[in-house]
Structure 1
Amino acid sequence: MTDSIQAENIYRKVTLRLIPFLFICYLAAYLDRVNVGFAKLQMLSDLKFSETVYGLGAGIFFIGYFIFEVPSNILLEKIGPRVWIARIMITWGVLSSCMMFVSSETSYYVLRFLLGIAEAGFFPGIILYLTYWYPQARRGRITALFMTAIAFSGVVGGPLSGWIMSSFAGMYGIAGWQWLFLLEGLPSIVLGVAVIIYLDDSVVKAKWLTDEEKTFLQSKLDADAQTKVHLPIAKIFTDVRVWLFSGIYFFMVMGLYGIGFWLPNLIKAAGVTDVLNNGLLSAIPYFVAAVAMVLVGKNSDRTGERHWHLISFSLIGAVGFWLSTLNPTNITFSLIGITIACVGVLSSIALSWSLPTAYLTGTAAAAGIAMVNSIGNLSGFVSPFIVGWIKDVTGSLTGGLYFLAASIACSALLVALTKRLKPVRQ
């Protein structure tokens, strides 16, 4: 057996062990984060919330997320991924289910804020965890595979949310949107318990690997670490590259949450008022994007090129948002535009993590990845609030879609700037 075939077999074994399980965990996490977008279809009229109140509550999640992101990721590295990821999943599952008790603007804001605190550290923790197993050259495709959970949360979550809200509405005197929060929060709790049993903290602790396989994997990780920058944690917060990576992610995530929180509303505005049909149609952009994410990540790994892939797909996302404004009352045209936007946004977001993970290592990686993710996800506060405000003021989502197109175009500009930075020498 040649060395290359042996390497592929070992990494295939690792991938089959880790990625399907992490995929399911992230699917549950992302679904719990954005299912408020479907609950909105019934919740706003039941609770008499305005679009601005909805947007503020949807976004306030990311304030708690921002505050606790860096500390959470540092704790993950110190305590170990298995215990810390389990803690995150169980607490956010409980709080997500508690969203069924929202009865006022205050309770809505408080629970969304607490949900952000609970989930802080999960996504950057998994990105960090993948660096414990895969060298940089393999992480484009692997990260894309993991992040297709975002896309599949739309494929599965849309129809599931629509079905729950239409089928359970009024059962035992509980509204459909309340059943939605309750039933979609429970899987995260179960998966949190499963993390304790299933995951291993590192290559060395993996009992399902032979000693030879462990030695091979660790040698690749050690060699990879030699090419990275070893920065003290304090310098992470002043490093120009980390801030550039944060800006790139901020503008990309603007587009992501624009889709996540407003796609059901776009479909409704095009004349689809039935929540089940709305959910089924909302799956289409995410399904196409899931396929595109994997193909783009694989091609980027094959060519070794990151920047032009990122620039191209960011601009594709911007064009998609613009197209979706041209005929908003035509469901076919709207879906084509938002599908193109979804492909561009999700493909570029998955690939964007190849930049900071190629640059940082050790505790600096834990802090740096968390900083990029926390600053980036502040756009999860900005995006729904501004789009909601624009809709309240204008009575239309068109202005909000222009805003999202401009945001994702800005990320392409920042990616271009990273090409001009001189490499750091250790």
Structure 2
Amino acid sequence: MSTEKPDNASIEKIDVVVNSTENTTPAAIQARFTTLCDLDDEQMAALNKRVLRRIDWRMMPTITIMFLLNYLDRINVSNARLAGLQSDLGMSDTIWSAGISTFYVGYLIGQLPGNLWLARVRPSLLLPGMMIGWSICTITMPAVTSGAGFCIVRFFTGLCEAPFFPGITLMTSSWYTKAENPTRMAVWHAGNTISNIISGFLAAGILHHMGGIAGLYSWQWFFIIEGAVSILVGIISFFTLPDWPENTKWLSEEEREMAQYRVIVSNGGKVEQVGGTWDGLKDACKDPFTWMFCGMHFSLINAQSFKDFFPSIIKTFGFGELETYLVQAPPYAIAYLSALALAWSSGKFRESCYHIIVPIAASAVGIAVMISTENVGARYFGAILLVSGTYNGLNLQLSWETTLVPAPRSKKAALIAIANCVSQCSHWYSPYFFPRSQEPFYRLGGGLILFGCLCTALLAWAVKWWAKRLNKALDETEGYSEHSGIERGWRYVY
């Protein structure tokens, strides 16, 4: 490993970190808050437990259900395709792929401005409002009569969804500590795995049985029911979703200060002030971590490029229509359980790099099996590895990027949005890697997935290497060593 010191820009960044860790012991931070300064350790522990419990029971169920429906809204067209959406609208494979890509055009346009805006406003108003917006788009889908209409509706659906995913990533990192963050992100991020499970059962129940009711196709009912449920959840979320630790109205003043204290201590004394919108954007663009995480997120989305075509891939295993809907569930259920376990382990041991590389390697093995054999059992096992590894990798990558760059909030919001924005560009071309002419192996898509897995592993190692270099420079600046007797300050987690 190179012992070369970081460049001048990085040294300036390190100086800021060092300065921010002066007088940042828990006791010094506690003294900043009027309602906390006189509490003893036992009272602080009890208050911390109460605040954590309140946030867990209010925020986590809300954003998990919201994200479940958000992700269901993204993937619903894949099951609707099996029920005849593409053929009923007379769309060729090229038009279909264009519609899938158009969704991500809208998603890309709304991503960065949406998250920068969110950092300055109340999430309890913006995020439910966006949810109602995309739900209205979903309900209009049954009125579509052509490929052009399909593309237009998917564009506006993506535009409304854009701020949501990076927004709840930003919120989670603003409420939870480094040790808590990976597991909490796994809980709500598992909403995408649960949505795939629910999607299969919904497809089995609605798409298999509701065709012809009220003169509508079964796929039209699929969109109507899903959109109506999402609108209801969006309305409820106005009342249950918190804002930021400093301004959530259903917390007492003491609880709000404890919520801020917890995160400041976890950040090594760095206060998560909002910061200027454009200053945060410029700071994020100058930080090498931003571009490393952009590359990693982009690679992970390439490795997940199968998700819009998973029902079609499973159909090549030779199952009947109903069985194809149902057998999609187990791989996602296994992915959910493994995500919780790995996230807990990552938070406990404060390690992210190998927690990402190992499951991604399993995904590479899984797709290699799927594109190289006709054995149904082996291919199904490969699908389990593929789904579990890529979803685990993405969940931990999101947690890692928000703990490496904890403040200010505007910079963190920009980093999350830029990384997610860049990653979504892969959706402009990845649908063209899964044409029906590639059945049953989809080897062209398999090659794209393998490429994504390789790049993810390399970039995870690069982030670890850079974080270690910066930590070494911090040690030298502070005069810290194992035998120096100096208390080690804030460090990058890798």
**TMscore range, shorter length:** over 0.9
CA distance in 2, matches of 1:99, 1:220: 45
After superposition, the Cα gap between the structure-2 partners of 1:175 and 1:136, relative to the gap in structure 1 and judged at 3 Å, is same
Name 2:309's counterpart in structure 1: 262
After superposition, the Cα gap between the structure-2 partners of 1:396 and 1:46, relative to the gap in structure 1 and judged at 3 Å, is farther
CA distance in 2, matches of 1:158, 1:59: 23
The aligned amino acid for 1:116 is G
CA distance in 2, matches of 1:3, 1:331: 56
What whole-Å deviation, never above 9, does each CA across 1:301-337 have from its counterpart, x for those lacking one? 1111111111111211121111222334x43322211
Q: Is the Cα–Cα contact under 8 Å of residues 135 and 221 in structure 1 kept in the other structure?
A: yes
CA distance in 2, matches of 1:102, 1:412: 42
CA distance in 2, matches of 1:232, 1:196: 28
Summarize the alignment of residues 339-378 of structure 1 with structure 2, pairs less than 5 Å apart. 339-358=384-403, 359-361=405-407, 362-378=409-425
The aligned amino acid for 2:93 is E
The counterpart of 2:348, out of the listed 302, 308, 313, is 302
> Offset at 1:394?
7.4
The aligned amino acid for 1:385 is Y
CA distance in 1, matches of 2:441, 2:384: 20
What whole-Å deviation, never above 9, does each CA across 1:35-91 have from its counterpart, x for those lacking one? 111011111222232333222211221111111101011111222101100111000
The counterpart of 1:182, out of the listed 206, 221, 224, is 224
CA distance in 1, matches of 2:319, 2:92: 21
After superposition, the Cα gap between the structure-2 partners of 1:252 and 1:320, relative to the gap in structure 1 and judged at 3 Å, is same
Name 1:249's counterpart in structure 2: 297
SS of equivalent residue, structure 2 residue 327: helix
Moved more, 55-64 or 200-209: 200-209
The aligned amino acid for 1:281 is V
TM-score of the aligned structures, taking structure 2 as reference length:
0.80
Aligned: 1:38 with 2:85:
no
Name 1:233's counterpart in structure 2: 281
The counterpart of 2:55, out of the listed 8, 14, 29, is 14
Unaligned runs of 5+ in 1: none
Name 2:32's counterpart in structure 1: none
TM-score of the aligned structures, taking structure 1 as reference length:
0.92
Moved more, 43-52 or 167-176: 43-52
Give the number of equivalent residue pairs.
421
After superposition, the Cα gap between the structure-2 partners of 1:360 and 1:286, relative to the gap in structure 1 and judged at 3 Å, is same
Name 1:219's counterpart in structure 2: 261
Aligned: 1:121 with 2:121:
no
Q: Is the Cα–Cα contact under 8 Å of residues 107 and 162 in structure 2 kept in the other structure?
A: yes
Summarize the alignment of residues 316-395 of structure 1 with structure 2, pairs less than 5 Å apart. 316-328=362-374, 330-358=375-403, 359-361=405-407, 362-388=409-435, 391-392=436-437
C-alpha RMSD of the superposition: 2.3
The counterpart of 2:100, out of the listed 51, 58, 76, is 58
- Identity among equivalent positions (%) equals 27
Q: Is the Cα–Cα contact under 8 Å of residues 173 and 399 in structure 2 kept in the other structure?
A: no
CA distance in 1, matches of 2:347, 2:45: 16
Q: Is the Cα–Cα contact under 8 Å of residues 79 and 311 in structure 2 kept in the other structure?
A: yes
The aligned amino acid for 2:81 is K
SS of equivalent residue, structure 1 residue 26: helix
> Offset at 1:387?
2.5
SS of equivalent residue, structure 1 residue 200: coil
Name 1:285's counterpart in structure 2: 331
> Offset at 1:286?
0.4
The aligned amino acid for 2:292 is L
Larger radius of gyration: 2
Aligned: 1:411 with 2:453:
no
After superposition, the Cα gap between the structure-2 partners of 1:49 and 1:333, relative to the gap in structure 1 and judged at 3 Å, is farther
CA distance in 2, matches of 1:254, 1:5: 45
> Offset at 1:261?
1.1
Q: Is the Cα–Cα contact under 8 Å of residues 52 and 392 in structure 1 kept in the other structure?
A: no
Name 1:400's counterpart in structure 2: 445
Higher fraction of helix:
1
Unaligned runs of 5+ in 2: 1-41, 475-489
Name 1:191's counterpart in structure 2: 233
